[in-house]
Amino acid sequence: MKSATHPRSLPSTPVTARSSLAARIVFGVYFLSGFCALLYQTAWQRLLGLFTGADVRSVTIIVAAYLAGLGAGSLIGGVFADRLSSRAAVRLFGLCNLGIAAFALVARLVFYDLLFLRLHALAANLAGLMAASFLTLLIPTTLMGLSLPLLSRALVRSLDEAPQTIGRLEAINIIGAALGALVGGCLLIGMLGFDGASYAGAVLSAVVGVAALAVAPTFAAGNGRLPPRQGAPAVRSPRLWYWSALVFLSGFLAIGLQVVWFRLLSVPLESFAYTFAILVALVLLGDGLGTALGARLVRRAADPRPWFMLTQATVMLYVLGSVLILCAFSTRPNAPTAGTAAIAAQSFATQMFLPLALLLPPNLLLGLTLPFVQKAVQTETASVGRNVGLLQMANLIGNVAGATLTGTLLLDAFGTSGVLVMFALAGLGFALGALVCAFPRPGAARCALPVTLALALVALIAVTPSNSRLWAALHGSVGAEATVVEDSTGVTAIIPRGERATLYSGGNAQGEVPFLDVHVLLGALPALAHPHPRDLLIIGIGSGGTPYSAGLRPETRSILAVELVGSQLPALTTFARGTASAPLDALFADPRYRLVVGDGRHALAHTHQRFDLIQADAIQPWRAGSGLLYSREFFVQARARLATGGLMAQWMPTERTAVTFRQVFPYGVQIGDFMLLGGNEPVTYQPEVLLQRLEDPGVRAHLQRGGIDLELVRAFIRTQPATFWTPETPRQGDMNTDLLPRDEYFLNN
């Protein structure tokens, strides 16, 4: 965005840099500041997420706080930029980046050491959680938001050149942000950890600040007044608020689409730790390239309104059409003669081509509109900076509203299919708006494109499938037998295939009904090993196999099972009603179970109850966010909540998991290469005792009600070796930590 001088400025000559090299340096450091901004967002969101929790509500609050700070900075920067010389604007930009660098150096102390470790009680209620998130992010994000108005003030030489200059600034910053998301999320975090990535960003922000301060003296020290653009309208206040409203709506739809895109792509991509960074990078790359293209095309637009509206309508048409094509692609039958090469080619196309095809074109079109908006509103010399701030703030407020409402209320109320239809209707409104813009000079050529877009959108809306059919198709099911439930926390689909049904959550297979052997053993063995397991905590429900099997002992009186994805519970109950599933019926009929939706670590942090058994369900450690349940700090939390003689049970997917677990629990036993049991007191694991408990009539009856083969459990106990450790046992090897979950970032480790 751009800035002009204050109307009281003395000279009437354009503001220019004394050296074109200085301008290029400013563009370069602004690219680097965009890189840092997304690096920080990726790292700080995870650091602060430990305090707020990993559920959708908490993530939405963090994103909203980040964007709100950027919006506040944009508004403040717009107000003050008009009163500064070019030299002062560049100098202030440099000081802002030094301030950002200083915060990045203490971010780990603020987010992790202070909020998470010492003030975690604030997160027990929504007001405290929101206040802490917004206040801690306010300073650095406000400083980031100041940047564009300040640099626009320094580089804009005339109002006629303003749209191109501002467009190039926005483009270079957004492309830098795309690279920051990619390098930060896929390389730096996996190598240095979340705190290390923040420290690396601090170094880069310091470089930006020092470079800006060094080059600032080459810019003009006096206030120059920009000449008005030829043909600019005399009255512009209504025009500014009109475009602010349009930019707000565009920002709402853009971030809402991002929420929908990421949810849709989670199914074919089966998201892991690097997926989010790659998708964010593609979104930003499209925005940046589109903005750069718009900066070149903006001179050709006499009236920016139809360009803006037609672009928005085309985006919605492309999104809805591509989703329908994706559904058709997902449900088409595989060729019976397809071999390994064909399967590999299809997998490569899914992982590489699909995100590019779905994300890059629409975001390029969204970015294309930014310079046209600037051309529409920058018509006076006295308030260029204020206009920049208001427009950017309107866009960011739209982002906040879009993320908050789409990620919570709209998906809960209408599902992904309903949200897509709503956004397509907004696109239809833009197409009709473009048609209205053609009325002053009507003609077939001017009306053809908006009419075509409107008719195409109406046709696609008419054939859009219901939410359940949409998700069934994306999961490869063409029949009506699929059970699909979607809410703001995620999508759960249960797809019957033969005698078994697979439960998918977020695109990942999380279990089956009847229960998988691995979940049965994970639940049953720890409960059999404990002498008197009265109170149990199970983190993760999945298809129900682990919590159900953990309740096999008659003396167990309470089983608290916490599931992050809220749609799993209604999906399981719906499936049970439709199929008369004996295992699920037995689970839901047992009064000892309390099944709740929430973050397991949050539950541990905010409870004073002690448990005889704490069990983390089998979650693949390379999935996004799973490192939170494999870290040393998580095991320390669990250990602190064990009752006397209590056990912590953990699946052992990697050797690093075992090393981390043994570092925390002074006593324990490793059962084959399958699972670990740890405690504060010596752990007793005697196969003959477990086999004896397995013969208890109450135990046998519980397993039989769940359709579980007793011989499976019996054979495992007899055949798997047990290896014990004590405080004297040597401990060595790499560990997973909250700040560096090495198994989650497996490509770097």
Residue given tokens 């030829």 in the structure block: 230
- What per-residue string of b and e applies to 223-262 under the rule 16 or more CB within 10 Å gives b? bbbbebbeebeeebeeebeebbebbbbbbbbbbbbbbbbb
Q: Which helix (H) or strand (E) holds 597?
A: strand 593-597
Q: How confident is the model at residue 444 (pLDDT cuts 50, 70, 90)?
A: low
CA distance 271 to 568: 18
- The closest alpha carbon to 331, from 472, 205, 155, 227, belongs to 472
Domain 517-748: state its class: alpha beta
More confident residue, 619 or 253: 253
Collapsed DSSP state (helix, strand, coil) of residue 586: helix
Enter the tokens of residue 27. 């563009």
pLDDT for the residue numbered 689:
96
Q: How confident is the model at residue 253 (pLDDT cuts 50, 70, 90)?
A: very high
Give the tens place of pLDDT for each residue, 583-616. Answer: 999 999 999 999 999 888 888 888 889 999 999 8
Contact 83, 4 (CB under 8 A): no
Total-model pTM: 0.88
Contact 365, 427 (CB under 8 A): no
The domain made up of 14-222 has a fold known as Growth Hormone; Chain: A; (1.20.1250)
Q: What is the mean pLDDT of the chain?
A: 87
Cα separation values, 341 from 311, 337, 344, 412, Å: 40, 11, 5, 41
Q: Does 486 have pLDDT greater than 60?
A: yes
Q: Which residues contact 244 (CB under 8 A, 6 or more apart)?
A: 390, 391, 394
CA distance 42 to 63: 10
pLDDT for the residue numbered 477:
82
CA distance 264 to 91: 44
- The closest alpha carbon to 586, from 554, 614, 544, 616, belongs to 544
Q: How confident is the model at residue 622 (pLDDT cuts 50, 70, 90)?
A: confident
Give the tens place of pLDDT for each residue, 24-42. Answer: 999 999 999 999 999 999 9
Angle at 198 between CA 119 and CA 352, to 5 degrees: 115
Give the tens place of pLDDT for each residue, 330-357. Answer: 765 444 444 445 544 555 556 678 889 8
Enter the tokens of residue 261. 């895109």
Q: Which residues contact 454 (CB under 8 A, 6 or more apart)?
A: 313, 428, 431, 432, 435
pLDDT for the residue numbered 70:
92
212, amino acid identity = A
- Which range, of 237-251, 390-404, 718-732, averages the lowest pLDDT? 237-251
pLDDT for the residue numbered 428:
95
Q: How confident is the model at residue 370 (pLDDT cuts 50, 70, 90)?
A: confident
Collapsed DSSP state (helix, strand, coil) of residue 615: strand
Q: Can you state the angle between helices 237-269 and 275-297, rounded to 10 degrees? A: 140
Q: Does 669 have pLDDT greater than 90?
A: yes
Arithmetic mean of pLDDT, 179-189? 95
More confident residue, 414 or 128: 414
CA distance 31 to 36: 9
Enter the tokens of residue 221. 């020290």
Contact 86, 153 (CB under 8 A): yes
Give the tens place of pLDDT for each residue, 542-567. Answer: 999 999 999 999 999 999 999 989 89
Q: Does 414 have pLDDT greater than 90?
A: yes
Give the tens place of pLDDT for each residue, 311-321. Answer: 999 999 999 99
Q: Does 405 have pLDDT greater than 50?
A: yes
Percentage of the chain with pLDDT > 70?
A: 90
Q: What is the DSSP string of 633-680?
A: HHHHHHHHTEEEEEEEEEE-SSHHHHHHHHHH-SEEEEETTTEEEEES
pLDDT for the residue numbered 529:
96
The β-bridge relationship of strands 642-651 and 611-616 is parallel
More confident residue, 122 or 157: 122
pLDDT for the residue numbered 674:
94
Give me the residue spans of the domains in the chain: 14-222, 517-748
The overall longest dimension of the chain from CA atoms, in Å, is: 95
pLDDT for the residue numbered 350:
65
Instruction: Quickly list H helices, 369-506.
Output: 370-377, 384-404, 411-437, 444-463, 467-474
pLDDT for the residue numbered 238:
60
Give the tens place of pLDDT for each residue, 134-178. Answer: 999 999 999 999 999 899 888 887 777 888 888 899 999 999 999
pLDDT for the residue numbered 498:
83
